[in-house]
Amino acid sequence: MATLILIRHGQSTWNAANRFTGWVDVPLSKQGREEARRAAQQISNYRVDVCYTSLLIRAIETAIIALTECEGVCGDRSPVLKHNADDPDWHGWDAYEGDPSQELPIFLSAALDERYYGELQGLNKSQTAAKYGSEVVHTWRRSFATRPPGGESLADTAARTLPFFQSRILSHIAQDEVVLVAAHGNSLRSIIMHLDQLDPETVPDLELATGVPIVYEMTPAAQILSKRTL
């Protein structure tokens, strides 16, 4: 039986300030780091084989804390960030092949980045709702197909997230491995929509709390046996 653990990053500094974040690379807040530590305790009974996260520091921080705060998750292995050799800033970081008995790979990918919020990035959510109307802003934030000004819809996000999920992450499920994915509200919403076979109409009500693990037990063929929130 394979296990897929999904964790939305802990509270970021801009979550705390009620600002639209998107691709702006802000870190976890103190509360967010505490949430990631609680997540580590909640998944401590699982020995993770591989981890995937986005390129954004709040997700990377969450992944590392979740993997290192409790010994059982990693065992004696050290997490190693695996960078993309196609990145123009690559410095040979992934030239080291590693020893699976000593290292746990964390693969970083832009495919798992948060939804791009375009012109809304950096704006206060309450002030934006007051300016444009709460219903309009709710549609920008929660609908499946509507884009915020200059940004991505959830459908756009799913168009990059799901192919990566199906080609990279499910390959580990097929090998009966335990996979941790630390990402973002919208990139994970698209994955959960796919796994739970949800209709786009249900998306506005799909809310993911920060730092709370969602665990799927699955067959190697990706058939879901159980799902629970820790």
pLDDT score for 154:
94
Domains and CATH numbers, the chain: 2-216 (3.40.50.1240)
pLDDT score for 164:
97
Residues with Cβ within 8 Å of residue 148, at least 6 apart in sequence: 117, 118, 119, 120, 140, 141
CB 80 within 8 A of CB 98: yes
The C-alpha torsion from 100 through 106 and 112 to 113, rounded to 10°, is -170
pLDDT score for 222:
95
Confidence category of residue 85, pLDDT binned at 50, 70, 90? low
CB 126 within 8 A of CB 84: no
Give the tens place of pLDDT for each residue, 86-106: 677 777 777 777 788 899 999
- State percent of the chain over pLDDT 70: 98
**What's the mean pLDDT in 111-121?**
97
Bigger pLDDT: 197 or 75? 197
Q: Which residues are catalytic?
A: 9, 114
Among the listed ranges 70-84, 104-118, 212-226, which one has the minimum average pLDDT value? 70-84
What is the chain's mean pLDDT, rounded? Answer: 94
Percent helix / strand / coil, the chain, rounded to 5 = 40, 20, 40
Distance CA 201, CA 192 (A): 14
Measuring CA to CA, which residue among 171, 170, 222 is closest to residue 197? 222
Q: Give me the residue label for tokens 């690379």.
A: 25
**What's the mean pLDDT in 173-201?**
95
Confidence category of residue 113, pLDDT binned at 50, 70, 90? very high
Among the listed ranges 13-27, 86-100, 111-125, 191-205, which one has the minimum average pLDDT value? 86-100
In DSSP terms, 8 is beta-bridged to 183
Helices 30-42 and 57-68: crossing angle in degrees, nearest 10, is 40
In DSSP terms, 85 is beta-bridged to none
pLDDT score for 135:
95
Q: Answer whether residue 16 shows pLDDT above 90.
A: yes
